[in-house]
Amino acid sequence: MITFLNKINVIKIKILRNIDKYLFGFLNYLFFWLKFLPFNKSKYLKQPKKILIIRLWALGSSILTFPMIKQLKDYRWPNIQLDLLATNRNQAVFKNQWYFNKIYNLFSWKDLLKLFFSFKKYDVIIDTEEYFRLTSLISIWLWKISIWRWEILSRKLCYNCPIKYEWKHQVIEYLKLLQPLWIKYKIPEKLEPLIYTEKDKLKIDKFLKQFEWKIKICMHTAWAETAPDRFRAIQNWKKLIEKIIDKYGERVVIFLSGTKFEEKQVNKLLNMLEKKYKNQVYSLVNKFNLFEFAYFLGKIDLMISNDTWPMHLAAAMWTKTIWLFGPNLPERFGAWPLDKNINIYKWNWKVYVKVMKGVFEEDKERNINKIKVEEIMKEIEESI
């Protein structure tokens, strides 16, 4: 189901991407020469004092940067200042983590003014955004040394330590950004979990007490506004819920997660269910904050999701996941670690998403809907 509001959000995203591509791309060509100001590159790479991480978008990708940021913070440099530039969309993910001295919000005028008057304040900028020309422009202004990849020409011109993208999993691609700093990174066995508070824990423990002896499965059936073709058709989710409850009966409880933006999609699915199924399905829309939800995911038995951020969060909380893929490929974006989680996808041998080039072609075939309910049930039975 694609609502009018969904369509408006998709249009907004396309407009923002075009502004970034053409306006900020032009400004990249106009100001790239600033990177040639005379600084001792070797000095700042070997012993930096101030490093800024840039991550503006995507909750899921923000979670995938955690291993890189942790290994950077744990490195042998004493008293290093590590800061973050984020936005309203993703800064909450980093809120309770211990990595940063300061977190700046790009949408805060106060923070923007601080950054404007911080010309070449940072020894090193690590830009984790895949294709934004805006972040290249920010990097030119703030850095002495900057690191990112070279797939887009206007961005490549702006960095003096570009890293080649090798189409590996995003966790590994982020870790590779440590190479110019002479840091020998380690590929993690699992993701870093979100840090929650004792208050968060108590609230979720109280909520889950009523389901203490049940098999707890959470489903994220909705989709991010950036990619409606990653959304599995709602009738397919309905069939899956019915199959699970028919097999496990009253032993199972199913939770439907979602944001305020996704509330209509979740409610539509609930209203489609017959009463005998609906009694075992609960909506979590607007019920928990991010950290409560993280702890909740760590306490359930299984997470099943479309290709969107709650799957990365579930994997980060070390909960087994079944991820349903459409145009994206799990080898690059799947639940980490790939050998401990289940990534199901149907692919027609066409690459629709080339994130490093800022290319997002719509999968009009909706390959995600070619995944059969029986295939998912088989993995569920082996997982719980």
Task: Kindly state whether residue 259 falls inside one of the protein's structural domains.
Answer: yes
Note whether 204 and 343 are same-domain residues: yes
% residues pLDDT > 70 (the chain): 94
Note whether 89 and 215 are same-domain residues: no
Task: Kindly state whether residue 225 falls inside one of the protein's structural domains.
Answer: yes
Task: Tell me which residue of 223, 233, 229, 225 sits closest to 363, measured CA to CA.
Answer: 229
Task: Kindly state whether residue 5 falls inside one of the protein's structural domains.
Answer: no
Give the pLDDT confidence score for residue 261 in this predicted structure. 80
- Rounded to whole angstroms, the Cα distance separating 72 from 238 reads 44
Q: pLDDT digits over 254-273, tens only? A: 999 988 888 888 999 999 99
Note whether 49 and 151 are same-domain residues: yes
Domain that holds residue 280: 199-383
Quick check: 373 pLDDT over 90?
Answer: yes
Task: Kindly state whether residue 10 falls inside one of the protein's structural domains.
Answer: no
Q: pLDDT digits over 21-67, tens only? A: 999 999 999 998 888 776 666 666 778 889 999 999 889 999 999 99
Q: pLDDT digits over 223-235, tens only? A: 766 667 778 889 9
Strands 359-360 and 122-127, bridge-based pairing: unpaired
Quick check: 132 pLDDT over 60?
Answer: yes
Note whether 259 and 309 are same-domain residues: yes
Give the pLDDT confidence score for residue 40 in this predicted structure. 60
Could you tell me the two tokens for 336? 């980490």
If one counts the domains in the chain, the total is: 2
Q: Which residues contact 4 (CB under 8 A, 6 or more apart)?
A: none
Note whether 166 and 266 are same-domain residues: no
Confidence band for 353, pLDDT divided at 50, 70 and 90: confident
Phi, psi for residue 254 in degrees, rounded to 5: -120, 130
User: Considering only 98-107, 116-125, 137-146, 281-290, which range has the smallest mean pLDDT?
Assistant: 137-146
Q: What is the CATH number of the domain that holds 58?
A: 3.40.50.2000
Give the pLDDT confidence score for residue 1 in this predicted structure. 47
Give the pLDDT confidence score for residue 244 in this predicted structure. 97
Spatial contact of 335 and 315, defined as CB atoms under 8 Å apart: yes
Residue 74 is which amino acid?
D
Quick check: 112 pLDDT over 80?
Answer: yes
User: Considering only 220-229, 289-298, 358-367, which range has the smallest mean pLDDT?
Assistant: 220-229
Mean pLDDT, residues 132-143: 89
Give the pLDDT confidence score for residue 61 in this predicted structure. 93
Mean pLDDT, residues 310-328: 90
Of 200 and 337, more confident? 200
Task: Kindly state whether residue 268 falls inside one of the protein's structural domains.
Answer: yes
Confidence band for 3, pLDDT divided at 50, 70 and 90: low
Note whether 167 and 271 are same-domain residues: no
Give the pLDDT confidence score for residue 273 in this predicted structure. 95
Of 10 and 58, more confident? 58
Task: Kindly state whether residue 315 falls inside one of the protein's structural domains.
Answer: yes
Give the pLDDT confidence score for residue 14 in this predicted structure. 81
Could you tell me the two tokens for 138? 């920010």
Note whether 36 and 165 are same-domain residues: yes
Could you tell me the two tokens for 193? 């979990």
Task: With 0.85 as the threshold, say if the pTM is over it.
Answer: yes
Among the candidates 148, 181, 214, a domain finishes at 181
Phi, psi for residue 144 in degrees, rounded to 5: -100, -40
Spatial contact of 282 and 256, defined as CB atoms under 8 Å apart: yes
Task: Kindly state whether residue 158 falls inside one of the protein's structural domains.
Answer: yes
CA distance readout (Å), 166 to 38, 149, 212, 330, 339 = 31, 10, 45, 15, 20
Could you tell me the two tokens for 337? 């670690």
User: Considering only 35-49, 150-164, 260-274, 356-370, which range has the smallest mean pLDDT?
Assistant: 35-49
Spatial contact of 310 and 302, defined as CB atoms under 8 Å apart: no
Task: Kindly state whether residue 143 falls inside one of the protein's structural domains.
Answer: yes
Note whether 177 and 206 are same-domain residues: no
Question: For residue 148, what are the β-bridge partners?
Answer: 162
Task: Tell me which residue of 371, 373, 221, 185 sits closest to 303, measured CA to CA.
Answer: 221
Note whether 139 and 207 are same-domain residues: no
Could you tell me the two tokens for 125? 């900028």
Mean pLDDT, residues 152-181: 87
Spatial contact of 104 and 116, defined as CB atoms under 8 Å apart: no
Confidence band for 87, pLDDT divided at 50, 70 and 90: very high
Note whether 229 and 309 are same-domain residues: yes
- Rounded to whole angstroms, the Cα distance separating 318 from 336 reads 9
Give the pLDDT confidence score for residue 175 in this predicted structure. 95
Could you tell me the two tokens for 152? 């887009």
Note whether 225 and 149 are same-domain residues: no
CA end-to-end span of the chain:
30
Note whether 88 and 225 are same-domain residues: no
User: Considering only 4-8, 143-147, 348-352, which range has the smallest mean pLDDT?
Assistant: 4-8
Quick check: 149 pLDDT over 70?
Answer: no
Give the pLDDT confidence score for residue 25 in this predicted structure. 93
Q: Check the CA dihedral 41-42-43-45 and report its sign.
A: positive
Q: pLDDT digits over 173-197, tens only? A: 999 999 988 899 999 999 999 999 9
Strands (E) located in 244-372: 252-256, 281-283, 302-305, 321-325, 342-345, 353-354, 359-360
Give the pLDDT confidence score for residue 281 in this predicted structure. 97
